[in-house]
Amino acid sequence: MSVQYVEKVYNSYAWVYDLVFGKVFHNGRVLAPKLLHLFPGARLLEVGVGTGMTLPLLPRNIEITGIDLSQKMLDQAQKRIAKLKYTHVRLLKMDATKLEFPDESFDRVLAAYFISTVPEPVKVVRELMRVTKPGGYLLFLNHFHSETPIKRYVEKIISPVCYRIGFKTDLDLYDLMDKAGLEIETIEPIDFQGHWKAVRCRK
């Protein structure tokens, strides 16, 4: 997957994204604020903000920057912000492999259902680390490949099909974090079978 391909795919999803993925990923979005340990005045970066479905679940007393590669997804997020009359959120179109922020800009980083959509996940995680303040949390909500051999085999088989619709099913959590140089602090299951996980790391 190239960056251009991912952008094209998610531009095409923008108008139906909430309908298709709203309930499916809701539990993780509810869990995110608790695991992030947000505090008044905290600066939060949401990478892959999409249509902004997480925004209403986050406190209003923080500063939120949401970025996405898809302008059409951002357009939907902007409509949500206008409807909610939020003044503490800014949206930017940006490639997560080349973040346009200074080092140590954010207290918290949220990557919800995002890291398996990017062509270079290690490079992205390193960029997220760069813009996070020392001691800050990085939270990943995502599907990572199963530890069960049979399920892992199936995930590899279907991975080429999933690539075509914009995400990977065979992303190895531990290999990713090891290569990026980021230590895992906690892992919590999002769904009852544990296929989707909330992974919190501290810089």
Domains of the chain: 3-202 (3.40.50.150)
Residue with tokens 């140089």: 181
Tens of pLDDT along the chain (203 residues) come to: 566 666 666 666 666 666 666 676 788 899 999 999 999 999 999 999 999 999 999 999 999 999 999 999 999 999 999 999 999 999 999 999 999 999 999 999 999 988 988 888 999 999 999 999 999 999 999 887 656 655 555 555 555 545 554 456 578 899 999 999 999 999 999 875 667 899 999 99
The DSSP result for 12-49, as a single string, is HHTTTHHHHHTTTTHHHHHHHHHHHT--TT-EEEEET-
Give the pLDDT of residue 196: 84
The b/e string for 103-125 (b: 16+ C-beta within 10 A; e otherwise) is eebbbbbbbbbbbbbbeebbebb
Dihedrals φ, ψ of 33, to 5°? Answer: -60, -35
For residue 41, the model assigns a pLDDT of 98
| Number of Cβ atoms within 10 Å of the Cβ of 163 | 16
CA dist 188 and 27 (Å) reads: 12
pLDDT in the model for residue 161: 47
What count of Cα atoms within 13 Å lies in the side-chain half-sphere of residue 22?
12
